[in-house]
Amino acid sequence: MERQTITVAESAGGRVDRFVADLSGLSRTYVQKLITEGHVTIDGAVVRNNLIVVPGQVVELEIPDAAPLDLEPENIPLSVVYEDGDMLIVDKAAGLVVHPAPGHPGGTLVNALLARDTEYGGIAGVQRPGIVHRLDRDTSGLLMVAKNDKAQASLMSQLKARSIKKTYLALAQGAVAATAGRIEAPIGRDPHHRTRMAVVPDGREAITGYRVRERLPGWTLLELDLITGRTHQIRVHLQAIGHPIAGDPVYGSGTSRRGPDGMERLFLHSWRIELKAPGDGHVIVATAPLPPELEVVLEGLRAMEAGLPRAAGPFAELDMNDYREPVDEGR
């Protein structure tokens, strides 16, 4: 068990949970859990989360050893596009579930991480070691993983401040009229289908920026900036404006659900992430090319546009490094 002693400085104050989180580098949620379990004391007395600290008090923090995870490491191949001492960024394949859940206890990204390096089992003692955000099972692309508590707290803080830039690629049905735009529509549980999300008046704030990358017969390839991070946000927003994503079995119907020829999965890919390194603050920019099963769909649409038979050779080249900076939307 790790122990820390913190003396409240003259200029400090505020709620004890926020004070300890800021000084220790731990997430506020985890600090609140420690307080509830009696691992935080002030001058020897157990405290509540909303207690206000005052200068001169001595705060003692106990960080229990991480509870063993009831998970088995599994040798699942991972594509790592960035790694340092604090974090890594993986290019998740479509079909790979991020973390265990009821009915899906194994074969997940977490199982793969545990097999790759046992240190991931110690992040805040939970069953989602190092996972600070997630991708849907059928979405491919970049996902951040923290290697230690302080890195996890840094990444979660950046996500909360919306300072991490996450850009996706999606193939939307129809011709999206505007070259660039911004969708602002609150998202919550669909009142008619409880297993789905929807744009609802009392939902949580949700903002998605987009730019047209390529216009193709019957479809538009979009770059999308995920400004907020609601469940199924991009899928819900595009469906709400009449341009559902190709191959979406939940929010699509008819043509959009089937997608173009060769479509075998949801055409949604986490392509680019820009953030500050938890350790020294340098800017990290990572990209992940479209996987071959999505490239082949674009190849077929380009051949159709050119009036050519579908090519049987190599996939058409899509240069993922040809990134155009987003327009200033005043945010």
Return the structure tokens found at 330. Answer: 């005043």
Q: Are residues 109 and 240 in the same domain?
A: no
**Looking at residue 162, what is its pLDDT?**
94
Q: Are residues 55 and 88 in the same domain?
A: no
Q: Locate tokens 């923090």: which residue? A: 61
CA distance 268 to 94: 9
Range scoring the smallest mean pLDDT among 70-79, 116-125, 256-265, 316-325: 316-325
Assigned domain for 263 exists: yes
Active site residues: 136
Q: Are residues 119 and 235 in the same domain?
A: no
CA distance 29 to 6: 19
- What is the average pLDDT across 54-77? 79
Write out the DSSP string of 204-258: B--EEEEEEEEEETTEEEEEEEESS--TTHHHHHHHHTT-PBTT-TTT--THHHH
Q: What is the dihedral of CA 327, 143, 81, 79, to 10 degrees?
A: -140
Assigned domain for 310 exists: no
Assigned domain for 252 exists: yes
Assigned domain for 112 exists: yes
- The CATH number assigned to the domain holding 31 equals 3.10.290.10
Q: Are residues 45 and 100 in the same domain?
A: no
Q: Are residues 102 and 42 in the same domain?
A: no
Q: What is the pLDDT of residues 177-214, one digit of tens each?
A: 999 999 999 999 898 887 789 999 999 999 999 999 99
Q: Which of 234, 232, 233 is nearest to 223 (CA)?
A: 234
Amino acid sitting at position 124: A
Q: What is the pLDDT of residues 214-270, one digit of tens each?
A: 999 999 999 999 999 999 999 999 999 999 999 999 999 999 999 999 999 999 999
SS3 300: helix
pLDDT at 120 over 70: no
DSSP structure class, residue 264: -
Q: Are residues 55 and 90 in the same domain?
A: no
63, 89, 114 - which closes a domain: 63
Assigned domain for 74 exists: no
Domain encompassing residue 217: 166-305
Q: Are residues 289 and 171 in the same domain?
A: yes
Assigned domain for 216 exists: yes
Q: What percent of the chain has pLDDT over 70?
A: 85
**Looking at residue 236, what is its pLDDT?**
97
Assigned domain for 328 exists: no
Q: Are residues 178 and 300 in the same domain?
A: yes
Single pTM value for the model: 0.74
Tabulate helix, strand, coil % of the chain (nearest 5). 20, 30, 50
Return the structure tokens found at 241. Answer: 């404006």
- The CATH number assigned to the domain holding 256 equals 3.30.2350.10
* CA gyration radius, the chain: 23
**Looking at residue 53, what is its pLDDT?**
86
Q: Are residues 114 and 36 in the same domain?
A: no
**Looking at residue 57, what is its pLDDT?**
87
**Looking at residue 127, what is its pLDDT?**
54
Q: Are residues 239 and 285 in the same domain?
A: yes
Q: Are residues 298 and 245 in the same domain?
A: yes
For the chain, the domain total comes to 3
108, 132, 160 - which closes a domain: 160
Assigned domain for 316 exists: no
Q: Are residues 267 and 139 in the same domain?
A: no
Q: Locate tokens 């070259």: which residue? A: 179
**Looking at residue 327, what is its pLDDT?**
35
108, 133, 160 - which closes a domain: 160
